[in-house]
Amino acid sequence: MKISSRLTGCVEWQKVKQEELKLQKIEEAKERFEKLKREACDLGGKEGVEKLLSGGIADILASHLDVKGKASVTDHAIFRSHAAR
């Protein structure tokens, strides 16, 4: 019985560690995004949009739209054209 409870505790501990790692990665991504956003705002205009999209933000936006709209966004030019308006 002790071995079984230790294994269960170990599996739960591993799950907690995995979730902590995911949260850490999210926090790091958020910090990178905030830095990119500040840099893009400083540049302004089309250059700012390009800076923001070149930093991998287009993939994040595409994923968000995929989930929200149940569609697949693979053409990042869509973001550029809307941002240029």
For the chain, 85 residues long, give each residue's pLDDT as a single digit of tens. Answer: 455 556 567 778 888 888 999 899 888 888 888 888 888 889 888 888 888 777 677 777 777 777 776 666 555 566 666 666 6
The percent helix, strand, coil of the chain (3-state, each to 5) is: 85, 0, 15
Residue 68 exposed, middle or buried by CB count within 10 Å (0-12, 13-18, 19+):
exposed
Q: Is the pTM of this model over 0.85?
A: no
